[in-house]
Structure 1
Amino acid sequence: MPCVYLRQFSHNVFSGEIFLRRSAGAALGLIGVLSVLWGTPVLAQDEEEAPSAQQSSQVVLEPMVVTASSVERTQRDAPASISVITREDIEKFPVMELSELLGTVEGITLSRQGNQVAGVQIRGMDMAYTLILIDGKRVNSTNVVFRGNDYDTGWVPVSEIERIEVVRGPMSSLYGSDAIGGVVNIITRGAGSTWRGSLKADAIFQEDSAAGDSQSLSLSASGPLVKDVLSLRLGVGYDRREEDKDVNQPATEGGTAQPGFGTIENRHLNGMLFYTPHSDHELRLGVDTSRRDHTGFVLKREAISLDHRGHYDFGTSNVTVNLDETRNLDGVVTGQKNPNKANTNSVDGRVTMPLDSLNQILTVGAETRHEKLKDPTNLAGWPGTPNYGSDSSTSITQHALFLETEIALLDDLKLTLGNRFDDHENFGSNNSPRAYVVYHPTAELTVKGGWAKAFRAPTLLQGSENWGSVSCGSPTVGCYIVGSPELDPETSTSLELGVHLDKGAFGGSITLFRSELKNMISINNRTADPALAPDYPNFVGFLPDGRPIFSYENIASVESEGVEVGLRAQLSRAWHLRANYTYTDVRDTSGSSSQPVAYRPEHAANLMVDWKPGARWVFSGNVRYVGEQVLVVWNDTRKSAYTVADISAGWRFDDRITLRGGILNITDEGDNREISSDFNEEGRRLFVSVSANF
């Protein structure tokens, strides 16, 4: 039944049948492979090393996830392709930037242009299409930097993260705009019934003395203020990577060397009060303040949130008020000081009701969100015109209603249907429907598949005709880019089909996916040449000083399809292995012939091995493979494939203190960056780490 259901939807969604035939064939092939593996024991173990019955049951247990639907579910039952990064995963190696750790998840590649902090791309979709959440609350710094999500993965100290849930594929039916590619939900630690504290310090030393070292320090504490009624959690963190010196040699004699990594410095402070006046009701008041410096561009974020979670005879409710302010202290142009400020205030709530007589669980919810940007420089209109500087702010309000129902068609077959209706002040109404099937033909085998439509509204910048910024390589003699109120929202249609095997100590999965993105908002059409400028379709005029002006436009369409493969194996009580592989084919289909999209490696793979020879020791190794990728499309400049390997050892001194150390990038795969569009990997370096719990 699931296959028939998927074929019916896919026929309506995609005009071609090539992907469907390929998906069906691959799925049948996978089922055959998994059937063979099903009957194959895990690697031979000594009898005394075989896991006990209790240990085996622990291996089968899966973490509960909350991001894929309105109802908490295990990973195998979640109506989406979802990965979980656990706290144990985070602690194995020093994590200065969370995006680097996210890059080990299947389906995720990293955009690394110009050595900046890497941005997260899910299934080949640009980083602007990945929605970042902290405890389910949206964070988005695009309005003050307009170039991606590289700031948004780092607003929380790593030491305060309990786990990270990554949904691969669109989730606009629940979360609305920006979730076209997927969702990263960073879930922080709670407060226990007794006081606990933790301290963690990391230091990274570069083998190349010209490269910058790194340090980080974090401290957290939580516990009850009034037993069973009021609890408090506090966290503070600081990390810094020093600026590189002369790490890149000029490509030619007498040439100019490309810069290495610039200074990256982050500070965090957060706290949360947990108030439980009744066993069925909880209030959470959270306060966050962070400062992130990316190579001299500094953003400060301050947020206050209030959550209420209630349990009733008819079901549960969740209401959240979130006030978020992000300030760009420097602006977006190198060498200039043009600060701006964005505010996002939202209220959202949902009620979930089990309808036992109808074999379904129903969730209804609503959200209202108001965004405002004040930018005296870039929201002042066109330089040199009479109205320049008369109005330096813009805002939008949007409302949404959403509904999701999970229907138990059979004991082993569930159908999730959902839709979100968004009413945007400037861009009208949009529906984001979704349908997903989870089928368990056996206790160990799961078949998943679904179809979804998603949308992304233009940002405050893209949609405002008063917003503008210098471009074309010069702040004085280049070109000028502006927003446009004529833009349409971007839309996508996606389909996926996956098979998952969970056989105790062994598990595996394969997922086929395809997405079509329409009306992609682009500013690629622009030139500094005033003679050529009028021939461009998005040319809108000249500034008084003669610079041509170009507006954002809806021109691009992108198709992405591929396969994600995951494997895990508990080889013995001491050895644990995980591996994944992703093939992604991303094409820009806007023109007469399709073109590749930059910074999208077709092939990516990760191998992670843990060895625990005793109660106090743990050894870990990671190997990351990044396939060949295009850096510049028009002249087909490419970066060759490369592999990076890391190792670490950890020793638990006692119940409170753990020491770790290791080598990162053992083979020193740090390419010499010769052009600005290329990027360096950090070279070989040593790290030491100490963590203490008290």
Structure 2
Amino acid sequence: MNTVRHKNPATFRRTAAAGAVAVLAASLGLPALAQDSQQQLERVEITGSSIKRIEGETALPVTVIGRDLIDKAGVTTAAELLTKVSASAANLTDGASFSDISGQRGFNGANLRGIGVSSTLVLLNGRRVANFASPGGASGVDLNSIPAAAIQRVEVLRDGASAIYGTDAIGGVINFITRQDYQGVDLYAYYGDTQHGGADKTIVTASGGVGDINKDGYNLFAVLEASRTGALRSSQRDWIGSVYQPDINLDVGSSNTFPANVRRVRVNADGSTTATGGRFNPSAPGCNPPANIYEPGSFVGPNACLFDYMQDTEIFPKQEKLSLLSRGEFKLGDDHTLFGEVLLSSTESTYRISALTITNLDYPATGQHYPTGVIPGYTGALRVGMRLSEAGGRTNEVDARTGRFVVGAKGTLADWDYNTALNYSESRVTDAYIDGYVQTDTFNAAFATGTINPFGPSTQAGLELLNSTKIRDDARKSKGSTTSFDVRASRELFQMDGGSAALALGFESRREDLEFRPSELLAAGQIRGDGAAQAFDGSRTVNAVFAELNLPVLKSLEAQLALRHDRYSDVGGTTNPKVGLRWAPAKEVVVRGSFGTGFRAPTLADLYTPARLGQTNGIYDDFYCAQAVAIDPGLEPDYCGLQPDKQVGGSTDLKPEESKQFSAGFVFEPNSMFTGSLDYWNISKTNTIVSPEGLYFSDPVRYAQYITRGPEIVPGLPGPIVEIDGRLRNAGALKTSGIDLGLELRGIATEYARLGAFLNGTYVLDYKTQDFEGAEYVNGVGRFAGDQVVQRWRHTLGLTVDAGPFSAAAIQTFYAGYTDQNPMPDGSDRKVPSYQLWDLSGSYQASKALKFRAGIKNIFDKNPPASNQVYFFLAGFDPSYTDVRGRFFYGSVQYSFR
């Protein structure tokens, strides 16, 4: 997948054909590109350059994934497709977006090199798609909006391309390329289901095209795709562990349970109340399985229960998708073509997690359900830590809609190859709270009556009162749009020893808009468990000019020079160069290298999202926990097991991130059956934009200005943490480097079949982060670093067999083991084992029109390895790279009318 066959060995030197890993197409199962030496080779534009050339003439590392491999891998979404690219790491997945505090439910984002979704540029047919509209910590194209059925191939530029495509291409570019000149009708049906239940999937696709662009002067093409994926609950997988697993040092259970844990209440001088002392539960030690467990060694203490939310949540969302992609081309004479594209996509995702928590209300001593004697010797009001189980699980329905309209022209004018277009793209997202949520003031008043029972089943009157406080609300509505006009043109200039020098010039002007509108309830802070949110608008214009020069200095030496200037209306201008070299010292070898800079402006959400109150993940105040418990063991709940609030949002004071990228490598093709490539890459970023929650907790003394503590409880000891300022800020820097390896064998003929194999892998040498300027760099490679896993090694291995109408493929996806986020209690590192998935598929071409395919994903039913990470809501494993579905069987049938 990282190396490519050339059109034929004889043209290797002339076209510098292995110089670009764009020829990687063959390694992914694309048809052989060999052709007669007398045939005219068409010049095309390849991702990584704006200059048209014979395919294969680029100096930059490009991975090409063709339609054949997409089918053989059983890939049904753009997000699944990127798991087969080893350079892609820490993508934003459905599992990773399961959170009651996430503003970006339903978002699947690409992340090259693991340096951030916002640093990876995703294109569709070489042009932008509007970013997912919901504001949050990541900004990028929602991969759910790209219909997999329309994809002909994907070109992944594994090198920064800010000088060519825009400043935000620091990590690289992913260009989804759809079918161009399609004729006929294809009908396709797919069904798959898991062995253990849940997450079943149905897809129906209709594709059609008419007209031959060369013979008829036009081509019209459209793909309509509908799919449905079933939900998967944690109770459907027996490997789901408890939130309390001392053997891996995991203790992230909730002290908010049903029946409720309670604490004493102290009335302050101003009439307010404060919870004090340890927790007690009327059902302890029996508790209330399966969600409640009794673990006296946990932070809740020996008299309380622990809520195991992993036994009461979904781990894979229900989704329904409908998309239409259409493209048309019309020739105007021999030299000019008009084209248009339409993309309409709708994705509805349903997220259901554990019931709402209630932590700041007191149950009256006069309440009809008061548990007398639950706290020995105490008869006053009780501060509850409860789970509102009788209201049902918190359920959000996310409706994400994408529209994109492109109209343009391309052709040749006065010896210039030109391409120009007007592009409008928008994303609309509605995050509706449809079950499990209550209105704050209404519920508080209802709870104060004592009719709602925190300690067991409510009476009919209590249930009716509770249900009267529930809401169904389109709480968050967002709209983001991108309007752009671009024109680029290239031509040959003069002859050099190696061929014709070529120049490309371009101009782009785009406007980005983002608006967020909370519902009246959310704006007023009347959705319990969610802080008040403010409406906001943000917009900017970006104008850019760029130039690219290709210089074939010698037959064996070519240089690529690019320069781009972008002017942002809100953060200023930046000029970024790119230099690439390709050298072919022998016909079997190409050596290549590049250097460039990048500049990632803060996104509109980064800049303009107002501060609001959210909630941290559970943490320990390590600095003061031991001191507090030594003074009074009853202080443990105040200091040791905390889930304080945090301010989240953006800041207009944010500065752009700046980067430098360097790569060097070679491609080796000794014969037509083998290609190998090896590329070193190095990326550094400064002024990184982060939400440094973990940083503050790592040293609460140094970062005391960002931490709010409650009133002093004992003399000489600061009060417990009650809130942190987790708003985005520029902090420190990032340095990462590694090696990409690509190997491919193809066309190995045996008596019965033709065999092939490929490997694409990434070895990360380092992933160093700096928390603040002047601080020591910390290497996070081979461990869970901050908010993601940085595996030392990742690869995809494929074995293919083609025998007449039959074909088969076995594909392995491998992730090396790493050091877990948290050490063991004795301070030693905890190791997460390696994780690998094997997928098997086979197809039978019954006739020219009819094709069957069947396969098994995760053929060995491999479960995600246990992890003590606490960054994601889903605990006990890491949902960012693992597949929770288990063994999955699927089959499909395709019928073509030609």
Give 1:371's aligned amino acid.
E
Tell me what 2:492 maps to.
Answer: 354
1:453 counterpart SS class: strand
Alignment check: 8 A CA contact 2:122 2:174 kept? yes
2:47 counterpart SS class: coil
> How far apart, CA to CA, are the structure 2 residues paired with 1:63 and 1:583?
34
> How far apart, CA to CA, are the structure 2 residues paired with 1:151 and 1:398?
18
> How far apart, CA to CA, are the structure 2 residues paired with 1:148 and 1:684?
31
In the alignment, structure 1 residue 78 sits paired with structure 2 residue 68: no
In the alignment, structure 1 residue 494 sits paired with structure 2 residue 635: no
Tell me what 1:92 maps to.
Answer: 72
Tell me what 1:567 maps to.
Answer: 743
2:110 counterpart SS class: strand
Map 1:256-271 → 2, pairs under 5 A: 256-257=309-310, 259-271=314-326
Displacement after TM superposition at 1:220 (Å): 0.8
Tell me what 2:514 maps to.
Answer: 373
Displacement after TM superposition at 1:408 (Å): 1.4
> How far apart, CA to CA, are the structure 2 residues paired with 1:565 and 1:325?
37
Partner of residue 760 from structure 2, selected from 580, 583, 592 = 580
Residue 540 and residue 174 in structure 1: after superposition, are their counterparts in 2 closer, same or farther (change >3 A)? farther
Give 1:162's aligned amino acid.
Q
Displacement after TM superposition at 1:331 (Å): 7.1
Tell me what 2:167 maps to.
Answer: 177
1:88 counterpart SS class: helix
Give 2:152's aligned amino acid.
E
Partner of residue 573 from structure 2, selected from 413, 416, 429 = 429
1:77-109 Cα distance to aligned partner (Å, 9 max, x none): 212110101111112133232222222224223
Higher mean alpha-carbon deviation, 451-460 vs 587-596, is at 587-596
Give 1:455's aligned amino acid.
F
1:462 counterpart SS class: helix
> How far apart, CA to CA, are the structure 1 residues paired with 2:64 and 2:34?
23
Partner of residue 623 from structure 1, selected from 804, 812, 822 = 812
Give 1:315's aligned amino acid.
W
1:219-265 Cα distance to aligned partner (Å, 9 max, x none): 11011299623332111101222101212534258244254212132
1:373-427 Cα distance to aligned partner (Å, 9 max, x none): 111239999979xxx9996322111111111111111122110111111111111
Map 1:596-615 → 2, pairs under 5 A: 596=780, 597=785, 598-613=788-803, 615=804
TM-align CA RMSD: 3.6
> How far apart, CA to CA, are the structure 2 residues paired with 1:62 and 1:228?
20
Tell me what 1:214 maps to.
Answer: 201
1:244-290 Cα distance to aligned partner (Å, 9 max, x none): 12125342582442542121322101222212122211111211110
Displacement after TM superposition at 1:53 (Å): 13
Map 1:263-662 → 2, pairs under 5 A: 263-294=318-349, 295=351, 296-330=397-431, 337-357=475-495, 359-377=500-518, 392-464=536-608, 466=610, 468=612, 470-472=614-616, 478-502=645-669, 503-525=671-693, 535-536=703-704, 549-570=725-746, 572-573=748-749, 574-584=754-764, 585-590=766-771, 591-596=775-780, 597=785, 598-613=788-803, 615-629=804-818, 632=821, 639-662=832-855
1:100 counterpart SS class: helix
Displacement after TM superposition at 1:428 (Å): 0.6
2:149 counterpart SS class: helix
Residue 646 and residue 323 in structure 1: after superposition, are their counterparts in 2 closer, same or farther (change >3 A)? same
Higher mean alpha-carbon deviation, 358-367 vs 74-83, is at 74-83
Alignment check: 8 A CA contact 2:130 2:480 kept? no
Higher mean alpha-carbon deviation, 627-636 vs 433-442, is at 627-636
> How far apart, CA to CA, are the structure 2 residues paired with 1:171 and 1:91?
29
> How far apart, CA to CA, are the structure 1 residues paired with 2:834 and 2:55?
32
Higher mean alpha-carbon deviation, 462-471 vs 258-267, is at 462-471
Alignment check: 8 A CA contact 2:118 2:140 kept? no
Higher mean alpha-carbon deviation, 120-129 vs 325-334, is at 325-334
> How far apart, CA to CA, are the structure 2 residues paired with 1:525 and 1:583?
29
Residue 463 and residue 533 in structure 1: after superposition, are their counterparts in 2 closer, same or farther (change >3 A)? farther
Aligned residues: 631
Residue 425 and residue 534 in structure 1: after superposition, are their counterparts in 2 closer, same or farther (change >3 A)? farther
> How far apart, CA to CA, are the structure 1 residues paired with 2:704 and 2:322?
44
1:123 counterpart SS class: coil
Partner of residue 240 from structure 2, selected from 239, 249, 256 = 249
Residue 78 and residue 143 in structure 1: after superposition, are their counterparts in 2 closer, same or farther (change >3 A)? same
Partner of residue 165 from structure 1, selected from 155, 158, 170 = 155
Partner of residue 189 from structure 2, selected from 191, 194, 201 = 201
Partner of residue 668 from structure 1, selected from 852, 861, 864 = 861
Alignment check: 8 A CA contact 2:133 2:478 kept? no
Map 1:141-160 → 2, pairs under 5 A: 141-148=131-138, 152-160=142-150
1:463 counterpart SS class: helix
> Which of 1 and 2 has greater Rg?
2
2:481 counterpart SS class: strand
Displacement after TM superposition at 1:691 (Å): 1.3
2:586 counterpart SS class: coil
Residue 528 and residue 498 in structure 1: after superposition, are their counterparts in 2 closer, same or farther (change >3 A)? closer
Give 2:648's aligned amino acid.
I
Residue 243 and residue 442 in structure 1: after superposition, are their counterparts in 2 closer, same or farther (change >3 A)? same
Displacement after TM superposition at 1:558 (Å): 1.0
Alignment check: 8 A CA contact 1:282 1:308 kept? yes
1:59-90 Cα distance to aligned partner (Å, 9 max, x none): xx999662110124466421211010111111
Q: Which runs of 5+ in 2 are unaligned?
A: 1-17, 19-31, 98-106, 245-289, 294-307, 352-396, 438-472, 526-531, 619-642, 711-721, 869-873
1:594-641 Cα distance to aligned partner (Å, 9 max, x none): 14132221111221111112x200011101111124563798776421
> How far apart, CA to CA, are the structure 1 residues paired with 2:533 and 2:232?
39
Give 1:521's aligned amino acid.
I
> How far apart, CA to CA, are the structure 2 residues paired with 1:395 and 1:332?
28
Give 1:632's aligned amino acid.
Q
> How far apart, CA to CA, are the structure 2 residues paired with 1:54 and 1:317?
28
TM-score for the superposition, normalised by structure 2: 0.65
Alignment check: 8 A CA contact 1:522 1:556 kept? no
Tell me what 1:16 maps to.
Answer: none
Alignment check: 8 A CA contact 1:557 1:588 kept? yes
TM-score for the superposition, normalised by structure 1: 0.83
Give 2:688's aligned amino acid.
M
Higher mean alpha-carbon deviation, 243-252 vs 302-311, is at 243-252
Alignment check: 8 A CA contact 2:743 2:758 kept? yes
> How far apart, CA to CA, are the structure 2 residues paired with 1:594 and 1:122?
21
Q: Percent of pairs identical after alignment?
A: 23
Tell me what 2:47 maps to.
Answer: 67
Tell me what 2:28 maps to.
Answer: none
> How far apart, CA to CA, are the structure 1 residues paired with 2:346 and 2:48?
30
1:111 counterpart SS class: coil
> How far apart, CA to CA, are the structure 1 residues paired with 2:319 and 2:119?
24
